[in-house]
Amino acid sequence: MAEQQLAGQVALVTGAGKRIGRSIALRLAEEGADVIVNYATSQVEADEVVKEIASRGRKSLAIQADVTKKSDVAAMFARVDKEFGKLDILVNNAGMFFAAKFEELTEEQWDRIMNVNLKSQFLCSQAAIPLLKKSQGLAHIVNISSLGGLLAWPAYTHYCVSKAGVIMLTRCLARHLGPKILVNSIAPGTIQFPGEGPDQDYIRQVPLHRTGTGDDIADAVAFLVTSKFVTGQILPVDGGRTLV
């Protein structure tokens, strides 16, 4: 990819204080975008991401918002409008993951994972549309889903259902928002970060014999937000896990 393909653009990444969200935010800044770093509770980490982005010569802003709450989401995008006047890229990354036996899954657990993984993407996409339409060129929404939205994992039924919802949300929005706004989803496989023990079972199974990194997902996001003829697609970034 050529350098600074996103120069002059504004991006917002939810859940960007840590892990995959952090990797995505930094990569978009490397490509020239100014980046809004959303966080729920990770203020220290979000501030560090903002400083790192600023050190690369890009404008950055950390905004605390619970993206499962419409009032928080509305306030966040109002601030984006005030500070930047537009939005070119929205990456819906905020999410959660935990195992639970289906027979023991509580209503609170079900509602919580649906709110964080699916409702948040609905709320943020809806609120972002007026700003995305101000983009001078094509605008992009990238929803982070999961292989769990494509494969059946009985110990994670609630999670799989939430991510399958993200996939269908992506497809519906792509049809609704074209041709001005392109909407795609990335479905990560197992992604691990320094200090975490390797998932040896995953490494044995997949053709590439490794787990993914935050940079692997960030690379895929960078591709999608610079594409001009890709919309409504679900891109597994999984080392070939969907082949086995």
Active site residues: 159
Q: What is d(CA 37, CA 20) in angstroms, rounded to the nearest whole number?
A: 12
Q: Residue 139 — φ and ψ, nearest 5°?
A: -105, 160
Q: What is d(CA 220, CA 225) in angstroms, rounded to the nearest whole number?
A: 9
User: In the beta sheet, which residues pair with residue 183?
Assistant: 141
Q: Closest Cα to residue 162, out of 139, 185, 192, 193?
A: 185
Q: What is d(CA 35, CA 217) in angstroms, rounded to the nearest whole number?
A: 17
Q: What is d(CA 16, CA 61) in angstroms, rounded to the nearest whole number?
A: 11
Q: How many residues does the chain have?
A: 244
In terms of C-beta distances under 8 Å and separation of at least 24 residues, what long-range contacts does 109-117 make, across chains too? 109/158, 110/158, 113/158, 113/159, 113/162, 114/158, 114/161, 114/162, 114/165, 115/68, 116/67, 116/68, 116/162, 117/159, 117/162, 117/163, 117/165, 117/166
Q: What is d(CA 77, CA 55) in angstroms, rounded to the nearest whole number?
A: 24
**Cα Rg, the chain, nearest whole Å:** 17
Residue 31, CA atoms < 13 Å, CB-side half-sphere: 24
